[in-house]
Amino acid sequence: MRWTLLLLLAAAVVAGAAARRRGGQRPSSWEDDDADAPAVDPGTPAYLTPLLEAGKHREAQNASRTSPPLLADLESYSGFLTVDKARDANLFFWFFPADKGMADAPLVLWLQGGPGSSSLLGVFLENGPVRIKRSRRLKRRRGSWTRAASMLYVDSPVGTGFSHANTTEGLAASSEQVGRDLLAALRQFYLLFPQLRANEFFISGESYAGKYAPALAMAIHEANGAAEQDKQGKINLKGLAVGNPLADPESMLEYGDYLYQLGLVDDAGRRRFKEREAVIRDLLAQRRGKSGGGDGRGDNATLFRELTGLRYRFNYLHDSDYLSRSYKQFVQTPAVRRQLHVGNLTYHNRTAVAERLRPDVMQSARPWYEQLLEHYDVLLYNGQLDVADPYPLMVNFIGRMQWSGAAQYKTAERRLWTVDGEVAGYAKTAGRLTEVLVRAAGHMVPADQPKWALDLITKFVSHKPIAD
């Protein structure tokens, strides 16, 4: 999620520089420092692909069921799907059926950004059915997206979270490869849950998923139109919903003007940003664009921090990360490892994936969006307070797209979006595209405004207008 502002560092660099196990105790809370607690067997990873290839679909589904559930009556399934045997590439998934049952509910895939951030962040901090209280106990989330759809969370790309390959070279090196891996996983998922094949399918995510989502959508679109779809089965893709997307670096570079309008830099600071933006554009023109160095944690090395003194870019009202990351400890406790069928496998940080995808950062996803908008609904929403991937830069990206609704978008009326009498934001629709500003939210909209985010996704997957 931290890559967009790091694009500006490129100029500085150039310029100067389970098989299943049953039983166990339900982990409604956990203690990391209880030396007297009895040891819990973390079990072994559940690799489901061999069962699926053998036609043992029911056995695979049973092997993936989280039992006992993390919370009473919380049905879920998790495990690994092998997406490339040559690379020994395996994607971890966690699936939650819709609250009303999966029979008639749409299926929504959630992809985290990064690149390299685990989708378990989405489960516990944003829109999943569970959250972790300060008391370190689990609680159902009132604004869970399972109220609108069945939710499938995938640690993607390979090398993210619990997803893994046998070597670093087995990690995806492009968004296209990420899309192909996700398609391979989806095909197996539909073998695991064949009753979902006819249900409407939507791809969602945020930040760097602004590239993953259209990459997967294009892979599905092409596969659906190919002869092999008769054998593999068609995926009922209906749309994409991406929050605070990084999609087209060149049209999303103009931080200087944005920060100046916010009052976070003066005219001299704006000029310094524009100087770096010009260098990056020159690199792009020469097809030598590279991403900034580092892994996104070196805030003191960024021009943004130098000029503003701020360390946190995901919500400019905060100077530090205000969201708890305790879920990372929770999912690595032996009892939870056992329930999630991950065994003792490493829970990866984002460093290796980010480094592997470094050449991909400056690549544009704009051609994919331009094609997809002719066939599928696309929702692009942005938190008002995000500095990493700001709303005005998303609008810049939309304005540069060449598609059949481009002229209509330029004259479309911006409408007020309200939820229970509250002003949630503003929406504009043209053709199959809807863009939304979510008020009083930062980079992770569902975390900052859960009720409004639920309303947003509910309307989108129900094919209803966002604004009145």
pLDDT, tens digit, 9 for 90 and up, residues 199-255? 999 999 999 999 999 999 999 999 998 856 565 589 999 999 999 999 998 899 899
Radius of gyration of the chain (CA): 22
Question: 160: part of which helix (H) or strand (E)?
Answer: none
| Catalytic positions, written as ranges | 207, 386, 443
pLDDT, tens digit, 9 for 90 and up, residues 282-312? 888 876 544 444 333 333 348 899 999 988 8
pLDDT reading at 6 higher than 60: no
pLDDT score of 464: 98
Range with lowest mean pLDDT among 123-137, 169-183, 448-462: 123-137
Distance CA 207, CA 353 (A): 15
More reliable by pLDDT, 438 or 303 = 438
Range with lowest mean pLDDT among 145-154, 300-309, 350-359, 423-432: 300-309
Query: Which positions ≥6 away from 425 have C-beta within 8 Å?
Result: 381, 384, 417, 436, 437, 438, 439, 452
Q: Are strands 377-383 and 433-438 parallel, antiparallel or unpaired?
A: parallel
pLDDT score of 147: 98
pLDDT score of 94: 99
**Region for residue 431 given its phi and psi (left: phi exceeds 0; alpha: psi -120 to 50; beta: otherwise):** left
pLDDT reading at 449 higher than 70: yes
Distance CA 66, CA 407 (A): 49
pLDDT score of 241: 99
Query: Which positions ≥6 away from 43 have C-beta within 8 Å?
Result: 18, 20, 21, 337, 338, 341, 343
Confidence band for 334, pLDDT divided at 50, 70 and 90: very high
pLDDT, tens digit, 9 for 90 and up, residues 166-213? 988 889 999 999 999 999 999 999 999 999 999 999 999 999 999 999
Distance CA 359, CA 174 (A): 8
pLDDT score of 39: 80
pLDDT, tens digit, 9 for 90 and up, residues 345-404? 999 988 999 999 998 988 999 999 999 999 999 999 999 999 999 999 999 999 999 999
pLDDT score of 37: 58
18-249+326-461 folds as Rossmann fold (3.40.50)
pLDDT score of 293: 41
pTM, rounded to two decimals: 0.90
Confidence band for 22, pLDDT divided at 50, 70 and 90: very low
SS (H, E, C) 235-258: CCEEEEEEECCCCCHHHHCCHHHH
pLDDT score of 27: 41
In the predicted model, what is the mean pLDDT of the chain? Answer: 88
pLDDT, tens digit, 9 for 90 and up, residues 28-72? 444 444 445 568 899 999 999 999 999 999 999 999 999 888 888
> Which tokens hold the place of 460?
């989108």
Query: Which positions ≥6 away from 273 have C-beta within 8 Å?
Result: 8, 255, 256, 259, 265, 303
Q: Where are the domains of the chain?
A: 18-249+326-461
pLDDT, tens digit, 9 for 90 and up, residues 257-270? 999 999 999 999 99
pLDDT score of 176: 96
pLDDT score of 379: 99
- Which of 121-135, 206-220, 301-315, 319-333 has the highest mean predicted lDDT (pLDDT)? 206-220
